[in-house]
Amino acid sequence: MKIAFIGLGNMGGGMAANLVKAGHEVNAFDLSADARSSAESGGCDAYDDAKRACEGVDAVVTMLPNGKIVRDVYEGDVFGHAPEGAVLLDCSTIDVATAKDVIAKAEAAGYDMVDAPVSGGIAAANGGTLTFMVGGTDKAFGRAEEVLQAMGKAVIHAGDAGAGQTAKICNNMLLAITMIGTTEAMTMAEKLGLDPQKFYEISSQSSGYCWPLNAYTPMPGVGVESPADNDYKGGFATALMLKDLRLAMEAAGSVDAKTALGRHATEIYEVFAEENGGLDFSAVIKTL
C-alpha cells in the first residue's frame, strides 16, 4: 500500500518506520526538517509539502499534537489532495467533538476515515506494539485495520466515529484515578509502619489489585520495575496525562457526566505538572 504519514514526532517517527518494515511505501511529512530526515533513515520518502505527500496514496495516517492541528491538516492538506476513496486514519489523541466533525467532513468529501488513538508510549510506537482503539463505520474500520496492524499488537473497533477518542480518555481518566489511589495507599501504609513491599505483595493479590500497583508500581524498589526505579524518567509524561485529563473533563462536561474523582485527579495533575511535566505520571507520589 502507498501511505502518507503526517506528524513524525516521538510517536509518529517509529510508527512510520514500522509501516515501511511491513512492506508499505511511505510518503513522510512533518514541519520539522530533523523529523523528516530521521524518517528518511527509517526508509520513508520524505516530502517538504504535505499536499504532495498525499498525492496518489491509498491511505493517510496522522499523528499530531492536538485537535486544532488535526483539523487544519485534514482541511488544508489532505481533503482534495489525497485521491478520493483513500482511507484516512487519525491516530492523535484529540477531543471527541473535533474527531467526529473531521470524520463527517472526510465522508462528505468521499473518504473513509477513522479516529484511532493509541495506548502505549514511545517504546510501543517504536516496537510496533501499540493498542489502537478505533472509531468509524464497519467499512472504514475494515480498510484501516491492515494499516494499523503493521504498527500495533491489538486493533479494537470501539464503535462509531469518535468512539476511539472516547475509549482513550475514559481509560486514561481511570488510570489517573487509580494511580493517585495507589500512591496514597502505598504512602499511607508506609507511614503506618507497614513495609511497602509487604503491602505490594498483599494488595497486588487482594482486592486492591490494579494496573498501577501490579504492573507499574510507583515506589522505587517496590513491586515490579517501573519508571519509579529510574527517577521517574521515561514512561508516560505527566504533561501528556494532564492533556488527556483535560480532554476527559471537556468531554464529561459536554454530556453532563458526573466525574468527581476525574475532576479531582485533573486538579492534582494540574498543580503537579507546573514543575514536573516531564516526569512520568507515577511521580505524583512525590506530592504525598
Name the residues annotated as catalytic: 168
Cell 467526529, located at residue: 100
* Residues 24-83, interacting with ligand NAD (CB under 6 A): 29-32, 35, 50, 63-65, 69, 73
**Is residue 11 a contact residue for ligand NAD (CB under 6 A)?**
yes
Where do we find the cell 516496537? Answer: 127
- How many residues of this chain interact with ligand NAD, rule: CB under 6 A? 26
**Which residue in 2, 9, 181, 263 binds ligand NAD (CB under 6 A)?**
9
Q: Which of 202, 201, 211 is nearest to 178 (CA)?
A: 211
Mark out the alpha helices in 109-153 (DSSP H runs): 122-127, 138-149
Q: Contacting ligand NAD (CB under 6 A), which of 6, 26, 173, 176?
A: 6
Question: Counting contacts by CB under 6 A, is residue 93 touching ligand NAD?
Answer: yes
Q: Which residue is nearest to ligand NAD (CB)?
A: 9
Residue the block writes with cell 483535560 = 246
Tell me how far apart the alpha carbons of residues 91 and 104 are, in angstroms, rounded to a whole number: 16
- Give residues with Cβ within 8 angstroms of 38, minimum separation 6: 8, 13
Handedness of CA 97, 140, 52, 21 (dihedral sign): positive
If binding is defined by CB under 6 A, does position 12 make contact with ligand NAD?
yes
Task: Give CA angle at 67 (65, 72), nearest 5°.
Answer: 95
Between 8 and 189, CB nearer to ligand NAD = 8
Q: Which string of x and - marks every residue 229-248 that binds ligand NAD (by CB under 6 A)? A: -------x---x--x-----
In the complex with ligand NAD, the residue whose CB is nearer, 50 or 173, is 50
Among residues 122, 150, 174, 261, the one that binds ligand NAD under rule CB under 6 A: 122
Longest dimension (CA), the chain: 66
For residue 94 the three cell numbers come to 484529540
Q: What is the nearest approach in angstroms of ligand NAD to the Cβ of residue 14? A: 9
Give the nearer residue to ligand NAD in terms of CB position, either 222 or 237: 237
Torsion sign over Cα 122, 126, 129, 133: positive
Interface residue list for ligand NAD (CB under 6 A) = 6-12, 29-32, 35, 50, 63-65, 69, 73, 92-93, 118, 121-122, 236, 240, 243
